Amino acid sequence: MSISAAQVKELRERTGAGMMDCKKALTETDGDVDKAIEFLRTKGMAKAEKKADRATKQGLVESYIHPGGGVGVLVEVLCETDFVARTDDFKGFVHDVAMHIAATGPLALSADELDQSTLEAEREIYVKQAMEEGKPQEIAEKMVEGRLKKFRKENALLEQPFVKNPDQTIEELVKEKVASLGENIRIHRFARFAIGD
C-alpha cells in the first residue's frame, strides 16, 4: 500500500513526530492513522526509556503567574543541551508544565516524594470515614488503601492527567517530549504560590 503525502502530513500535524517516523508508522499500520499514532507513542516510550539515564545539566526555569495574580509557579525542567533548551518546542513544554502546576496544585513531583505526615493525616481521615460508614474491618482497609492511592495520584505531579489532554499523564507527556526532541528531559523541581496559602 502506498502512503500519500497528505496522510504523512496529517499524522505529523497530530503528533509532531518527524516525517520519516510518520511515514514508517503509516507503512507499519497499513495507513491507519489512529494505529500509527499508537505505534509512534509506543516507539517514543521505548526511546524515552533508553535515554532516562543520560545526564541533564541544561534546561529552563519558567515562571507563570495566573491572570489576576492569585497563583504563581516556578518550575525547573532539565534537558541535556542548551540547544534543546532554547527551542520553541521545549519552551512551550516547560510553559505548559508551569500552567498545569498552577491549575492542579500538586504537592510533590512523584508519589514517593509526598510528605509522610500528610499521607498519615489523610489515612486517619479515611479510616474515620470508613468507620462512620459502618464498614467491616477488611472492607474498610481496602477502602482506605484505594482512597490513599487516589490521593497519591491526584497530588503527585508526574501521575496527574495533563490539563490540556486528560488522556495523558504528565509523565507520559515528558516521555513524548523525550522522543520528539531526542534528549533526556526531566522535571527537576517546582514551587507553587497562592494567595492565602
Task: Write the pLDDT tens digit of every residue in 58-83.
Answer: 999 999 999 999 999 999 999 988 89
Predicted confidence (pLDDT) at residue 5 exceeds the cutoff of 90 = no
pLDDT at 52: 57
More confident residue, 59 or 52: 59
Tens of pLDDT along 107-142? Answer: 999 998 999 999 999 988 888 888 888 878 888 888
Per-residue pLDDT, averaged over 138-149, amounts to 87
Q: What is the DSSP string of 57-97?
A: -EEEEEEEE-TTSSEEEEEEEEES-HHHHTSHHHHHHHHHH
Phi and psi at residue 193, in whole multiples of 5°?
-120, 135
**CATH fold of 115-154, please?**
GTP Cyclohydrolase I; Chain A, domain 1 (1.10.286)
pLDDT band at 51 (very low <50, low <70, confident <90, very high): low
Helices 170-181 + 33-51 axis angle, to 10: 90
pLDDT at 55: 67
What are the domain boundaries of the chain? 5-51, 58-109+156-194, 115-154
Is the domain covering 58-109+156-194 a CATH 3.40.50.300 domain? no
Predicted confidence (pLDDT) at residue 47 exceeds the cutoff of 80 = no
The cell for 108 is: 510533590
pLDDT at 75: 97
Homologous superfamily, domain 5-51: Ubiquitin-associated (UBA) domain (1.10.8.10)
pLDDT at 7: 85
pLDDT band at 49 (very low <50, low <70, confident <90, very high): low
Predicted confidence (pLDDT) at residue 36 exceeds the cutoff of 60 = yes
Across the chain, mean pLDDT equals 87
Percent of the chain with pLDDT over 90: 46
The DSSP bridge partners found for residue 76 are 61, 189
More confident residue, 104 or 17: 104
